[in-house]
């Protein structure tokens, strides 16, 4: 069924016939044949030209347009049968665009069209009104291209993205379930190892219990990182203006409420850069991991000191977390910064996954992570935020 708006366009076309009594308008309609249609451009871009002359009450399709629409060689276009070249799903859209164009509003759009034989294809189309010297609209004209192949690729990409998102959601649910179900078993393992009276054990048995404690501790750390992945999956990834000190205080309070709570001297300075534009959950995770890392790797012969501060240099904003703990070897620093998560030996380096997580988050924000450290001399983590 043809929309009523299509017939309104026909009436509008007839209304412009009054201009035929004025100065000969043939020069102004010359675009229908020559000035707007360049064969080289048309062939090179596979663009078809169309035009409607409100004075002569005629429609025009060039050779390329007829080729795209696969019309018979003797076919004569007209406004009355023009609707046949638009898919019924986009016919209302087409008539709305053409009606607005006849009133002087240009358009650029993607629309579903049909060939003369009725085969649907996606097209990229544009049109604009043509005016005479007095500024009166005397016609409309435009071009269109068959983008069916391009659209198929676009839809294929969209489907791939949708599949990836669904797969990502499935992985999130899996990590959440695994993390939740294993947590109870890890706690039972740790409790059982603590209840064993090591004084009644042989040396071999004592070494075995020690290994069990170490394994359960590393497993707990890995589960913590897995839980972080699950938590961060559904976070709001919109950039927000964040007061760094507020995030820092929130992280410290959470650490104090946890079993990890231990004495440490904290020094902070956020006066140079107080507010940053970042994803709150990412900044919170970065600070949390680095501070917890400092607490776990404190030097046994001195009190733990942690410095957290921001600064600006060469237009970039940096966040620094520095500690006086046991430090890292250069080999381990290179190993951490150059590897993917599947390359880490998590049984020997339980901090690998956590560092990979924050490194990935920093990189996704266009920033960088730099590590300066020496064994026994502490570590300094510098994050470029902006």
pLDDT band at 374 (very low <50, low <70, confident <90, very high): confident
- Which of 130, 146, 162 is the endpoint of a domain? 146
- If one compares 330 and 70, the residue with the highest pLDDT of the two is 70
- Which of 202, 234, 266 is the endpoint of a domain? 234
For 273-328, the pLDDT digits (tens) are 999 988 888 888 889 889 888 888 888 888 889 999 999 998 899 999 999 888 88
3-state helix, strand, coil split of the chain in percent (to 5) is: 50, 20, 30
Residues 6+ apart with CB under 8 A from 117: 70
Which residue, 96, 90, 134, is CA-closest to 114? Answer: 90
Is the pLDDT at 11 greater than 60, yes or no?
no
318 class by beta-carbon count within 10 Å (0-12 exposed, 13-18 middle, 19+ buried): buried
Q: Same structural domain for residues 180 and 96? A: no
Please give the backbone phi and psi of residue 200, each rounded to the nearest 5 degrees, phi first: -95, 0
- Which of 109, 130, 146 is the endpoint of a domain? 146
Q: Same structural domain for residues 71 and 105? A: yes
For 173-208, the pLDDT digits (tens) are 666 666 666 767 777 777 777 777 767 778 777 777
Q: Same structural domain for residues 364 and 259? A: yes
Place of tokens 């559904």: 234
**Residue 204, CB-side half-sphere exposure with 13 Å CA sphere:** 0
pLDDT band at 116 (very low <50, low <70, confident <90, very high): very high
Domain that residue 154 falls in: 149-234
Q: Same structural domain for residues 225 and 356? A: no
Q: Same structural domain for residues 92 and 127? A: yes
Question: What is the structure's pLDDT at 18?
Answer: 34
Tell me how many domains the chain contains.
3
Is the pLDDT at 6 greater than 60, yes or no?
no
**pTM of the entire structure?**
0.46
The angle at the Cα of 49, spanning 45 to 53, to the nearest 5 degrees, equals 165
Q: Same structural domain for residues 119 and 90? A: yes
The lowest-confidence range among 122-131, 139-148, 205-214 is: 205-214
Structure tokens at 23: 């100065």
For 317-360, the pLDDT digits (tens) are 999 999 988 888 787 777 777 655 444 443 344 455 667 677 87
Contact status, residue 73 vs residue 93, Cβ threshold 8 Å: no
């Amino acid at each position: 069924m043809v929309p009523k708006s299509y017939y309104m366009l026909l009436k509008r076309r007839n209304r412009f016939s009054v201009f035929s009594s004025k100065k000969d308008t043939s020069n102004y309609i010359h675009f229908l044949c020559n000035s707007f249609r360049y064969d080289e451009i048309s062939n090179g871009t596979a663009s078809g030209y169309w035009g409607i002359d409100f004075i002569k009450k005629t429609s025009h399709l060039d050779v390329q347009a007829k080729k795209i629409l696969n019309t018979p060689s003797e076919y004569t276009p007209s406004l009355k049968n023009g609707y046949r070249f638009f898919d019924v799903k986009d016919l209302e859209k087409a008539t709305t665009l053409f009606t607005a164009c006849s009133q002087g509003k240009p358009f650029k759009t993607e629309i579903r069209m049909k060939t003369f034989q009725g085969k649907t294809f996606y097209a990229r189309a544009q049109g604009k009104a043509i005016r005479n010297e007095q500024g009166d609209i005397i016609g409309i004209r435009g071009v269109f291209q068959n983008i069916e192949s391009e659209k198929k690729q676009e839809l294929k990409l969209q489907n791939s993205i949708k599949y990836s998102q669904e797969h990502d959601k499935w992985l999130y649910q899996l990590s959440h379930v695994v993390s939740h179900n294993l947590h109870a078993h890890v706690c039972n393992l740790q409790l059982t190892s603590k209840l064993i009276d090591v004084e009644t054990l042989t040396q071999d048995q004592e070494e075995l219990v020690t290994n069990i404690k170490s394994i359960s501790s590393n497993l707990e750390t890995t589960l913590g990182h897995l839980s972080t992945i699950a938590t961060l999956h559904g976070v709001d990834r919109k950039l927000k203006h964040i007061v760094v000190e507020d995030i820092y205080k929130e992280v410290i309070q959470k650490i104090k409420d946890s079993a990890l709570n231990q004495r440490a001297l904290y020094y902070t300075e956020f006066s140079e850069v107080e507010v940053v534009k970042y994803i709150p959950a990412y900044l919170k995770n970065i600070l949390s991991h680095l501070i917890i890392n400092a607490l776990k790797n404190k030097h046994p012969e001195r009190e733990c000191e942690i410095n957290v501060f921001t600064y600006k240099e060469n237009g970039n904003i940096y966040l620094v977390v520095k500690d006086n703990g046991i430090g890292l070897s250069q080999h381990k620093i290179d190993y951490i910064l150059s590897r993917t998560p599947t390359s880490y030996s998590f049984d020997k380096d339980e901090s690998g996954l956590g560092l990979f997580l924050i490194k990935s988050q920093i990189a996704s924000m266009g920033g960088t992570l730099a590590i300066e450290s020496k064994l026994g001399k502490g570590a300094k983590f510098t994050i470029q935020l902006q």
